[in-house]
Amino acid sequence: MQLSKSEEQLMQLLWRQEKAFMKDLINAYPDPKPAQTTVATLLKRMQDKGFVDYVQVGRSREYLPLVKKKDYFSKQVKGLIRNFFNDSATQFASFFTKESDLSKSELEDLKKLIDEQIKRKK
């Protein structure tokens, strides 16, 4: 299941806060802030999709993410590779390194990360 752009923006705020009441989430938005009803609708949709849940605290709901940011991001990247790069991580890496205007230092850092992963696979 995937989040819409507005749901993903709200999820980013929730991941940052780890758990939050609606007023905290609204306050975390940049101006102009969305209406409370808009955020409530997004949270309900995200709950239906299994991304968030809440704990009742008095008359308020404290929302918490059910999906880790790393897990969501990993799934999105895998889908990107599958859909745009013929399921080839090599094609993705080639595109990324050529088109993202990385500095020599950044490329060397990537090479070091790849070399470390190669050593772990032996």
79-122: per-residue pLDDT in tens? 889 998 998 988 888 888 888 888 899 989 988 998 998 988 87
Angle (nearest 5°) at CA 65 between 10 and 74: 85
Rounded CA gap, 71 and 59, in Å? 32
Please report which confidence band the pLDDT of residue 27 belongs to, taking 50, 70 and 90 as the band edges: very high
Record the pTM: 0.77
- pLDDT digit string (tens) for 28-84? 999 999 999 999 999 999 999 999 999 999 999 999 999 999 999 998 889 889 998
CB atoms near residue 52 (< 10 Å): 22
Look at residues 67, 41, 38, 31 and name the one whose alpha carbon lies nearest to residue 52.
67
- Torsion sign across C-alpha atoms 116, 117, 118, 120: positive
How many CB atoms within 10 Å of residue 63? 24
The encoded tokens of residue 112 equal 């070091």
pLDDT for position 95: 87
Given a cut of 80, whether residue 1 has pLDDT beyond it is no
